[in-house]
Amino acid sequence: MATLKEINQDIAKLKKQLSHLKLDVYALEATPNQKEAEKAQLQQTIKQLKSQLDDKLVEKTSLLGSDSSKLDDNVILRLENLTMKFGGLVAVDNLSFDVKKGEVFGLIGPNGAGKTTVFNCITQFYKATSGNVIYRNKDNDVVDLGKFKVHNVIKEGIVRTFQNVELIWELSILENLLIAGHTLYHANFFDHVLKTRRYRKEEKAVRARAMKVLSDVGLTPYMHAYPLGLPYGTLKLVELARTLMTEPKLIILDEPAAGLNDQETAKLTETIRKIQKDYDCTIFLVEHDMGLVMKLCDTICAISFGKQLAIGTPAEIKQNKAVQEAYLGGE
Amino acid sequence: MEKKNNFLMQYQKIKQSPMFGILVFLIVMILIRLLGNAGIMRQSTIDFISLVLIYSIAGLGFSLLLGYTGLASLGTAGFIGLGTYLISFAFANAGLPFVVALFLGFIVAIIMGTIVGFISLRIEGMYLAIITLGLSEIFIEIFKKAISITNGQNGLQVENFNFFGFLEASNALAYRNAIYFIILFVLVIMMVAFINIVNSPTGRAMLSIKNSTSAAQAMGISVLKYRLLAFVIATITAVVAGMLYMPYFEFTEPGIWNLGVSLNILAAVIVGGSKSIWGVTLGTFIIFGLRDIVLKQIPFFQENGNAVFFFTGALVILIVMYYPGGLVKLFDSLWKKGKVKLQNLRRGE
| A32 — pLDDT class (breaks 50, 70, 90) | low
Give the per-residue pLDDT at A62.
75
Segment A253-270, tens digit of pLDDT: 999 888 888 888 888 899
Distance from A237 to chain B by nearest Cα, in Å? 15
Give the per-residue pLDDT at A44.
85
Segment A267-281, tens digit of pLDDT: 889 999 998 888 889
Flag if A151 and B217 touch (Cβ within 8 Å): yes
| Percentage of residues of chain A with pLDDT beyond 70 | 96
Chain B residue with the nearest C-alpha to that of A199: B200
Distance from B231 to chain A by nearest Cα, in Å? 14
Interacting residues of B300 by C-beta distance below 8 A, sequence separation 6+? B307
CA distance B143 to B257: 10
Range among A63-72, A241-250, A316-325 rated most confident: A241-250
CA distance A152 to A123: 9
Residue A239 CB burial class (10 angstroms; 0-12, 13-18, ≥19): buried
Flag if A168 and B201 touch (Cβ within 8 Å): no
DSSP 8-state symbol, A256: T
| A34 — pLDDT class (breaks 50, 70, 90) | low
Smallest Cα–Cα separation from B330: which of B292, B283, B265? B283
Beta strands in chain A (DSSP E): 75-86, 89-100, 104-108, 130-136, 142-144, 158-160, 250-254, 282-286, 299-304, 307-312
Give the per-residue pLDDT at B308.
79
Flag if B219 and A192 touch (Cβ within 8 Å): no
Considering only CB atoms, B204 lies closest to which of A123, A125, A175, namely A175
| A1 — pLDDT class (breaks 50, 70, 90) | low
Residue A106 scores a pLDDT above 90:
yes
Give the per-residue pLDDT at B151.
84
Flag if A187 and B217 touch (Cβ within 8 Å): no
Average pLDDT of chain A, as a whole number:
87
Chain A residue with the nearest C-alpha to that of B190: A193
Interface test with A, best of B200, B276, B329 (most A CBs within 10 A): B200
Q: Does A186 touch chain B (CB under 8 A)?
A: no
Distance from B77 to chain A by nearest Cα, in Å? 25
Give the per-residue pLDDT at B311.
82
3-state secondary structure of A284: strand
Segment A183-220, tens digit of pLDDT: 999 988 999 999 999 999 999 999 999 999 999 888 99
Segment A152-170, tens digit of pLDDT: 999 899 999 998 889 999 8
Chain A residue with the nearest C-alpha to that of B226: A189
Which of residues A61 and A185 earns the better pLDDT score? A185
Q: Which residues pair with B163 in a beta bridge?
A: B166
Greatest alpha-carbon span in chain B: 75
Give the per-residue pLDDT at B349.
58
3-state secondary structure of A44: helix
| A324 — pLDDT class (breaks 50, 70, 90) | confident
Query: Angle A173-180/A232-244 helices, nearest 10 degrees?
Result: 30
Q: Does B284 touch chain A (CB under 8 A)?
A: no
**What is the residue-wise DSSP string for A6-27?**
HHHHHHHHHHHHHHHHHHHHHH
Distance from B211 to chain A by nearest Cα, in Å? 6
In this structure, which amino acid lies at residue A114?
G
Chain A residue with the nearest C-alpha to that of B209: A168
CA A44 to chain centre: 26
Q: Are A299 and A105 in contact (CB under 8 A)?
A: yes
Chain B residue with the nearest C-alpha to that of A188: B202
Query: For A91-100, what is the mean pLDDT?
Result: 91
Give the per-residue pLDDT at A5.
83
**What are the backbone angles phi and psi of residue A300, rounded to the nearest 5°?**
-130, 140
Q: Does A180 touch chain B (CB under 8 A)?
A: yes
**What residues of chain A, 233 to 252, have a C-beta less than 8 Å from chain B?**
242, 246
Give the per-residue pLDDT at A250.
93
Flag if B220 and A155 touch (Cβ within 8 Å): yes
A154 CB neighbour count, 10 Å cutoff: 24
Residue A128 scores a pLDDT above 60:
yes
Flag if A178 and B201 touch (Cβ within 8 Å): yes
Given a cut of 70, the residues of chain B with pLDDT beneath it are 1-4, 349
Give the per-residue pLDDT at A158.
93
Give the per-residue pLDDT at A67.
53
Encode chain B in three state secondary structure: CHHHHHHHHHHHHHHHCHHHHHHHHHHHHHHHHHHHHHCCCCHHHHHHHHHHHHHHHHHHHHHHHHHHCCCCCCCHHHHHHHHHHHHHHHHHHCCCCHHHHHHHHHHHHHHHHHHHHHHHHHCCHHHHHHHHHHHHHHHHHHHHHCHHHHCHHHCEECCCCEECCEECCCCHHHHHHHHHHHHHHHHHHHHHHHHHHHCCHHHHHHHHHHHCHHHHHHCCCCHHHHHHHHHHHHHHHHHHHHHHHHHHHCEECHHHCCHHHHHHHHHHHHHHCCCCHHHHHHHHHHHHHHHHHHHHHCHHHHHCHHHHHHHHHHHHHHHHHHCCCCHHHHHHHHHHHHHHHHHHHHHHC
Residue A175 scores a pLDDT above 80:
yes
CA distance B299 to A71: 82
Flag if A162 and B215 touch (Cβ within 8 Å): yes
Task: Provide the number of CB pairs (under 8 Å) joining chain A to chain B.
Answer: 89
3-state secondary structure of A169: coil
Distance from B188 to chain A by nearest Cα, in Å? 13
Chain B residue with the nearest C-alpha to that of A124: B218
Q: Are B225 and A152 in contact (CB under 8 A)?
A: no
A273 CB neighbour count, 10 Å cutoff: 14
Distance from B186 to chain A by nearest Cα, in Å? 14
Flag if A150 and B218 touch (Cβ within 8 Å): yes
Q: Does B329 touch chain A (CB under 8 A)?
A: no
Which residues of chain A are within 8 Å of residue B231 when distances are taken between CB atoms? none
**What residues of chain A, 58 to 117, have a C-beta less than 8 Å from chain B?**
none
Segment B169-207, tens digit of pLDDT: 777 888 888 889 999 999 999 999 999 999 999 999 999
Flag if A182 and B221 touch (Cβ within 8 Å): yes
Q: Does B160 touch chain A (CB under 8 A)?
A: no
Which residues of chain B are within 8 Å of residue A210 when distances are taken between CB atoms? none
Flag if B219 and A175 touch (Cβ within 8 Å): no
Give the per-residue pLDDT at B146.
87
**What residues of chain A, 276 to 315, have a C-beta less than 8 Å from chain B?**
none
Give the per-residue pLDDT at A4.
79
CA distance A266 to B136: 57
Chain B residue with the nearest C-alpha to that of A163: B215
Segment B44-90, tens digit of pLDDT: 888 889 999 999 999 999 999 999 999 989 999 999 999 999 998 88
Q: Does A188 touch chain B (CB under 8 A)?
A: no
Q: Which residues pair with A308 in a beta bridge?
A: A303
Give the per-residue pLDDT at A331.
53
Flag if B218 and A193 touch (Cβ within 8 Å): no
Interface test with B, best of A153, A158, A193, A250 (most B CBs within 10 A): A193
